[in-house]
Structure 1
Amino acid sequence: MDTLAQLLDGVRARGAVFTRTVISPGWSLRFASGAHLTLVVAPHDRIWISATGREPIEVGPGDIAVLRGPAPYTVAEDPASPPRRVITGADYCARTARAAAAGGPAPEPRTCGVAETGSALLISGAYEGPSGISDRLLDALPDVVVVPRGESDRTLLTLVEEEVRHDKPGQQAVLDRLLDLLLVATLRAWFDRPRSHAPAWYRATDDSVVAGALRLLHDDPAHPWTVAALATKVGVSRSGLARRFARDVGEPPMTYLATWRVALAADLLRDTDATVGAIAREVGYSTTFALSVAFKRRRGITPTQHRAALAHTPATRP
């Protein structure tokens, strides 16, 4: 059971935005583009990332950070520095473009800050809109994920650094795939870290009974599972399964299944035009009402409200 592969299989960058930003000393940028996932790296400098209402997180030279949106965040040389610029999807690199149009020096491809005097460099790559990014994946991530330089895939990062400096035929397809590969490699490295608090579906378990129960729930979430039915399938008593599952996963089997079904439903509401009733049956609920009750209990809104909110989410640029 490779749930991470299942979740990342639907992530496909389309028009991935990779940008090199040249910045002056004392810089501080507020990103408010609404991107759902952004990868950020400062190859040669230490930076600080501050998500709304959170303590600043230090990111060392060459570390890779994954930022979960769409909430705004600040990237700065000094966490105490107030943002000098607020960057939205509508005006990213606008100042650079205006300077070049007015006869100023032409920037290198995909580079912002041609008028800046500093040598600091920030490379960011973002997914526009949901881009097939699973709610189940986003739910598993904190606001900021940081993978140290020594644990990240340097080969991929070198390819990104080289590719963004040039305009070549077919380059957008190359950048899309590089962003996908860099995301997969970075998240895999982070989940493997001992203190990453990886979700239960990723963590390896030495208990074959628990692993077998998880596999059954993931392979057929719509089945009318009970603890007794699961226990029979994996060959242990009902109480034995309940105890071992809660020990390794952190919650009872049926609680885990309900959360997983709602997450599946959230993805289907975004990625398909199936009715709420059809989605309810696909994830294991007999009626629209049953799914709505479970959905609202876990997410605070109904499936219909969730789909409506997605419909009003504009495509964004970082």
Structure 2
Amino acid sequence: MDTLANLLDGVRARGAVFTRTVMSPQWSLRFASGAQLTLVIAVNGRIWVTPAGNEPVLVDSGDIVVVRGPAPYTVAEDPAAPPHQVITSADYCARTARAVAGGGPAPDPRTCGVGEAGAAFLISGAYEGRAGISDRLLDALPDVLVVPERDSDRTLLALATEELRRDKPGQQAVLDRLLDLLLVSTLRAWFDRPQNHAPAWYRTTDDSVVASALRLMHDHPAHPWTVATLAAKVGSSRSGLARRFTRHVGEPPMTYLGTWRVALAADLLRDTDATVSSIARKVGYSNTFALSVAFKRCRGITPTQHRAAARRTRELNT
């Protein structure tokens, strides 16, 4: 049972903004692209990442950071320094492009800024638009997560660093796939660290009954499951399944199924134009009202409010 693989199955970078940014001393950048997830690697020198409304996070050279959006965040040499540039999805390298147009030196491909001896630089890759990232995955992540250099995949990072310097046919497709691989590798490394308390759906279980029940709920969320029907399918008693499932997953089967269904509905509301009624039926609720009750219980807002908020966010960042 590999829920992380299921959650990442639809995640595909398409035309990802993948850049190498060279920094002058006392630099500070505010990223406001609206990306759902952004990977940032401090290739040379320490950086501070400050998410909106939260404390700055120190990132050592070589560490990989994943920043959860769509709220803006700041990446800086000094967290106290005010941002000297705001970067949007349409303006990643605008300043560099203007400098080149005015007769300045041309940087390497996909590079913002001009290289200087000893200059700090970072690599960033952003998932923007409808990248297929599940709300269930996003809900399990903090605003900023850091994977130390020793736990990261240095081979993938070396490939990405080298590819960024090239300008060849098919390069965007290569960079998109490298970003996908870096994301999977980084999330896996972060979840594997005991202090990060990985969610129940990530942790493996040696209980075949519980694993089978999880697989059934994930593969057929719209089925009218009860603890009794699940128990019958996996060859267990009702009370035995409830007890074992709660012990291994941390919550009862029907509670888990309810939050799973709501997360699936949240993704469909954000990424499709399907009606709330059709989404309700697709994820296992008989009508709009039933989904709305469950959605508000889990998230504090209605499905319609969730969809409206997602649309506002997209409009603000396009």
**What range is the shorter-chain TM-score in?**
over 0.9
User: CA offsets per residue over residues 168-192 of structure 1, 9 Å max, x none?
Assistant: 1111111111111111111122122
- Of 304-313 and 177-186, deviating more is 304-313
- Of 225-234 and 162-171, deviating more is 225-234
- Of 307-316 and 94-103, deviating more is 307-316
Query: What amino acid is the match of 1:222?
Result: A
Corresponding position of 1:164: 164
Question: Deviation of residue 228 (structure 1)?
Answer: 2.6
Query: What amino acid is the match of 2:261?
Result: R
Query: What amino acid is the match of 1:20?
Result: R
Helix, strand or coil for the counterpart of 1:123? Answer: strand
- Of 229-238 and 41-50, deviating more is 229-238
Equivalent residues of 1:128, 1:316 under 8 A apart: no
Corresponding position of 1:314: 315
Relative distance call for 1:52 and 1:309 in structure 2 (3 A) is closer
Question: Deviation of residue 158 (structure 1)?
Answer: 0.6
Alignment of 1:201-220 (within 5 A): 201-220=201-220
Helix, strand or coil for the counterpart of 1:58? Answer: strand
Question: Deviation of residue 140 (structure 1)?
Answer: 1.5
Equivalent residues of 2:29, 2:75 under 8 A apart: yes
Corresponding position of 1:149: 149
Query: What amino acid is the match of 1:39?
Result: L
Count of residue pairs brought into register by the alignment? 317
Q: How far, CA to CA, are the matches of 1:18 and 1:258 in structure 2?
A: 37
Corresponding position of 1:41: 41
Q: How far, CA to CA, are the matches of 2:32 and 2:280 in structure 1?
A: 34
Question: Deviation of residue 305 (structure 1)?
Answer: 2.9
User: CA offsets per residue over residues 90-110 of structure 1, 9 Å max, x none?
Assistant: 432221111111111112211
Corresponding position of 1:72: 72
Corresponding position of 1:185: 185
Relative distance call for 1:315 and 1:109 in structure 2 (3 A) is farther
Q: How far, CA to CA, are the matches of 2:244 and 2:183 in structure 1?
A: 33
Helix, strand or coil for the counterpart of 2:195? Answer: coil
Equivalent residues of 1:227, 1:238 under 8 A apart: yes
User: How large is the RMSD of aligned CA atoms in angstroms?
Assistant: 2.1
Corresponding position of 2:139: 139
Question: Deviation of residue 303 (structure 1)?
Answer: 2.0
Identity of counterpart residues, as a percentage? 79
Equivalent residues of 1:42, 1:122 under 8 A apart: yes
Q: How far, CA to CA, are the matches of 1:54 and 1:234 in structure 2?
A: 44
User: CA offsets per residue over residues 229-267 of structure 1, 9 Å max, x none?
Assistant: 323333444333333322322222111111100111112
Relative distance call for 1:14 and 1:271 in structure 2 (3 A) is same
- State yes or no: 1:229 paired with 2:229: yes
Question: Deviation of residue 119 (structure 1)?
Answer: 0.8
Question: Deviation of residue 32 (structure 1)?
Answer: 1.6
TM-score w.r.t. length of structure 1: 0.92
- State yes or no: 1:2 paired with 2:2: yes
Query: What amino acid is the match of 1:314?
Result: E
Query: What amino acid is the match of 2:168?
Result: K
> Gaps spanning 5+ residues in structure 1: where?
none
Query: What amino acid is the match of 1:250?
Result: G
Query: What amino acid is the match of 1:285?
Result: Y
Query: What amino acid is the match of 2:290?
Result: A
Equivalent residues of 1:99, 1:115 under 8 A apart: no
Equivalent residues of 1:31, 1:86 under 8 A apart: yes
- State yes or no: 1:119 paired with 2:119: yes
Q: How far, CA to CA, are the matches of 2:308 and 2:83 in structure 1?
A: 33
Q: How far, CA to CA, are the matches of 1:63 and 1:139 in structure 2?
A: 23
Corresponding position of 1:54: 54
Corresponding position of 1:257: 257
